[in-house]
């Protein structure tokens, strides 16, 4: 998990933007709606992004399966059994997840259009 290029792209983008303000209420609402419709690849990527962010932070703890209050509801192999509370995530991480979810949804929509041809 130490090498996840998407994470590097996201953190570089956030650092360039010098993010300090939180997402707006409208952005959070839209993000929640999009997260709820993610496929397993999207959920798995979000889990990796969260773990990598925590691992590279000063608050890293090897004792925590998922940081920032995230909970695994089931261990049946489906990654979308993770529950997140956006308000418990650091602001930078919220922005990273927002960017990722928008990119992932655009990819899914593109694949859907291509499949319909």
Structure tokens given for 105: 């949804």
What is the pLDDT, as a whole number, of residue 42?
92
Per residue in 71-112, pLDDT tens? 766 555 554 567 888 899 999 999 999 999 999 999 988 988
What is the pLDDT, as a whole number, of residue 71?
75
Residue given tokens 């920032």 in the structure block? 68
Per residue in 11-28, pLDDT tens? 999 999 888 899 999 999
State the DSSP string of 65-107: SSSTT-EE---SS-GGGEE--GGGS-HHHHHHHHHHHHHHHHH
Residue whose C-alpha is closest to residue 8's, from 44, 43, 48: 48
Per residue in 46-68, pLDDT tens? 989 998 999 888 776 666 677 88
């Amino acid at each position: 998990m130490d090498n996840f290029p998407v994470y590097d792209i996201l953190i570089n983008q956030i650092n360039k933007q010098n993010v300090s303000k939180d997402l707006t209420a409208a952005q959070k609402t839209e993000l929640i709606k999009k997260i709820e419709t993610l496929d397993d690849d999207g959920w798995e990527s979000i889990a990796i992004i969260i773990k990598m962010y925590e691992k590279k932070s000063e608050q890293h703890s090897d004792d925590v399966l998922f940081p920032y209050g995230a909970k695994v509801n089931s261990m049946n192999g489906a990654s979308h059994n993770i529950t997140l509370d956006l308000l418990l995530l650091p602001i930078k991480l919220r922005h990273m997840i927002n960017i990722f979810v928008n990119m992932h949804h655009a990819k899914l929509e593109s694949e859907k259009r291509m499949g319909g041809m």
